[in-house]
Structure 1
Amino acid sequence: MPSLARALLIIDMQEGLFNGPNTPFEGERVLANIRQLIAEARKARTPVFAARHVGPPGSPIEPGSPLTQLLPALAIDAEIDGVFEKSRPSCFIGTDLAHRLAQANVGELVIAGMQTEYCVDSTCRAAGDLGFQALLVADAHTTMDTPVLSAESIIEHHNRTLSGPFVKLVSTADCVFDRATG
């Protein structure tokens, strides 16, 4: 059986979340790590997918809103990268992501982005149910403080909870993208 490819999935690294009223925990460090992941994926010709969370028409995050635009620092190119919109926490519900991954023979999905306890968590859990091995980049996802928990605690909790049954944890420095063959 041929080995399955790896892809990179960047979740909701968009203006309205990253530069919104609540500052993401260690946002600049996380952004730098995600940029490094993208650069490594590009060198290896690994597919890069980027999700943008959108809401219904008339909402602040309606499709096309400036708040849903991906951070320019990511240098995501809609011509070569798989940019898609989602309206649910999971990147798979109501999107064609699973189909696109299957078409690209992807079996492993490297996951990074925002927000840890919502869209990152939901996507990690769904990936395995759909037959994908999820690799969560422990130092490349973030969230904001809540009235109950600090963002740092939320991230640490999710890294610990998801690791094993739902994802394999990796660090940015240890995440390797093999050169695409063919």
Structure 2
Amino acid sequence: MSTSNQQALIIIDVQNAMFDPSDPVYQGEALLHKIQGLITKARSNHIPIFYVQHEERDGTPLERGSQGWLIHPSISPQETDVIIHKKTPDSFYETKLRQELVQRDISEVILAGIQTEICVDTTCRAARSQGYQVTLVKDTHSTWDSNDLTADQIIQHHNNVLQWFASLKNADEVTFGNIEAR
């Protein structure tokens, strides 16, 4: 791993289907607002932004090319951003993410997105295993209630567990260069 201190913001699976009014992700509007703040500060500091976009089989809400599969319009990528397509919870597995990070000499990844206990957790662990310095933005990842736990309990539990793999910060504590994201 490089000794550079280059950062990248990685936004995982913030796609239209996650905000379906019949079963929206927990605190979705607050999540979008905080991610928008991270994006604004990253852009102002010329930090690369990566959008990870999950794809599922035909006929599902995340079918490639469907309205649900699209990245949420409130955080739309710009031409200079990188979009990574994946089919598993691991944003690195059989994708071009690692290649794109290496090409930009990235050593620190800052993670936000959906779904806490699946794609966010898996990508956090994979990034650490591949030698990246990882920051998990603990108030900018979300999920849904399960049969046993509320979404809030799942988020808190994963923030506790993932501290072994990442530095945990709230969105207002994240810095890109010398400027804090608010």
TM-score by length of 2: 0.92
How much has 1:94 moved relative to structure 2?
Answer: 1.2
Rounded Cα–Cα distance in structure 2 between residues aligned with 1:61 and 1:23: 14
Equivalent residue number for residue 49 of structure 1: 50
State how 1:102-121 maps to structure 2 within 5 Å. 102-121=102-121
How much has 1:76 moved relative to structure 2?
Answer: 1.5
- Residue type of the alignment partner of 1:22: D
Equivalent residue number for residue 144 of structure 2: 144
- Residue type of the alignment partner of 2:86: K
1:125 and 2:122 matched: no
- Residue type of the alignment partner of 1:146: S
- Residue type of the alignment partner of 2:170: S
How much has 1:134 moved relative to structure 2?
Answer: 1.1
Contact (CA 8 Å) 2:115, 2:143: kept in 1 or not? yes
RMSD: 1.4
Runs of 4+ in 1 over 6 A off after TM superposition: none
- Residue type of the alignment partner of 2:94: G
Q: Secondary structure at the match of 2:23?
A: coil
Contact (CA 8 Å) 2:136, 2:168: kept in 1 or not? yes
Counting aligned pairs with the same residue, the percent is 38
- Residue type of the alignment partner of 2:47: T
What whole-Å deviation, never above 9, does each CA across 1:144-177 have from its counterpart, x for those lacking one? 11111100000000001101x2111011111011
Rounded Cα–Cα distance in structure 2 between residues aligned with 1:124 and 1:20: 28
How much has 1:19 moved relative to structure 2?
Answer: 2.4
Rounded Cα–Cα distance in structure 2 between residues aligned with 1:123 and 1:35: 21
TM-score by length of 1: 0.92
- Residue type of the alignment partner of 1:106: I
Deviates more, 1:50-59 or 1:68-77: 50-59
Gaps of 5+ in 2: none
How much has 1:93 moved relative to structure 2?
Answer: 0.6
Equivalent residue number for residue 167 of structure 1: 166
- Residue type of the alignment partner of 1:103: Q
The 3 A distance-change label for structure 1 pair 103 and 57 is same
Equivalent residue number for residue 32 of structure 1: 33
How much has 1:54 moved relative to structure 2?
Answer: 0.3
1:177 and 2:173 matched: no
1:16 and 2:17 matched: yes
How much has 1:55 moved relative to structure 2?
Answer: 1.1
State how 1:75-94 maps to structure 2 within 5 Å. 75-77=76-78, 79-94=79-94
Q: Secondary structure at the match of 1:173?
A: helix
The 3 A distance-change label for structure 1 pair 2 and 149 is closer
What whole-Å deviation, never above 9, does each CA across 1:69-106 have from its counterpart, x for those lacking one? 001001322x2100121100010011010110011010
How much has 1:2 moved relative to structure 2?
Answer: 5.2
How much has 1:57 moved relative to structure 2?
Answer: 3.7
